[in-house]
A and B are shown apart, each in its own frame.
Chain A
Amino acid sequence: MQHFDGNLLAGPLADLFAFDPTAARARCNGCGAMGELATALVYRSGAGSVARCRVCGEVLLTLVVADGRTFVNFTGTGAIEIPSGR
């Protein structure tokens, strides 16, 4: 299956946060690699989007847009670092 990267999540996440999380950095709970969410590998289908660590493949976050609501789970990251460029 083809994959994309975390840039693709900017739209779906924009509705949920006051900042763009794709430029936010996070640490992979699996291997410790740090990077912007935009650098995650994203597998997207009708079921939802799954962002995986580009180094070890661990699931960093999942995003499910259901009928009228959204589920987001930052399941594989610890804190996220939000650049304050306002």
Chain B
Amino acid sequence: MSFITGGFSGRSRERDERLPPGQTLVGDFPVLSAGPTPEIDTADWEFTIRTESGEHRWSWDEFMRLDIDEVTTDIHCVTHWSKLGTGWRGVSLDTLFADVETEYDYVMAHSYGGYTTNVPLDELLDGKAWVAFEFDGEPLDPEHGGPARLLVPHLYFWKSAKWVRGLEMMPTDEPGFWEQNGYHLHGDPWKEERYW
């Protein structure tokens, strides 16, 4: 029998029909992290896609000259909170991969500060993912991954790597940081792929 603490309800949480199983809506935007918040100046920022044959690199200024999408999407965290209809601006991975040639099917995202997470390439393309630099009309806060983070909303939000600095193509699916430490290799919220 579970112990209930009389009078305690915690922060505001609601259920909603549009949510994947096991999720509740929250009003705030919780911060989850594995280390100190990196402080990266856009003057020093670079984004690199590394393939088996070479590298494609963008500076912040070059990045800002690419096609930019306005994105409205739901996000789901493995720790059971969700936010619906969040607003972002970012560059689609389809734009970034337009001139990239690779035989490899898997991607490891690398972040400033050392965080990594793995995603299959086909789950980053066809309008499924962005490198986002604005949230809710404002430049992305460092605490939430600014200057730019990966945004892969159809997977649990730990896959949306904060402080992203590049993507490395891999021939096989290898686990990133949290995936090595208990989290599911894939992370589909609709199948509740939370842990091993």
Contacts and interface: CB of A to CB of B under 8 A. Distances in A.
- Same assembly: yes
Interface of A: 1, 3, 43, 45-48, 50, 52, 57, 59, 62, 64, 66-67, 69, 71, 73, 75
A66 B156 CA distance: 15
Contacts of A73: 180-182
Interface of B: 30-37, 77-79, 81, 143, 158, 178, 180-183, 194-196
Contact of A50 (B34, B78, B79): B34
Given A1-B143, A67-B194, A75-B180, A47 B35 contact: no
A46 B79 contact: yes
Nearest to B143: A1
Contacts of B36: 1, 3, 43, 57
A50 B113 CA distance: 13
A69 to B, nearest CB: 8
A47 B37 contact: no
Given A45-B32, A46-B32, A73-B181, 9 more contacts: A45-B79, A62-B181, A66-B182, A66-B194, A66-B195, A67-B195, A71-B182, A71-B196, A73-B180
A3 B180 CA distance: 22
Please list the 10 inter-chain residue pairs (A to B) with the smallest Cβ-Cβ separation, ordered nearest first: A71-B182, A46-B79, A45-B32, A64-B182, A47-B32, A62-B181, A66-B195, A50-B34, A1-B33, A73-B181
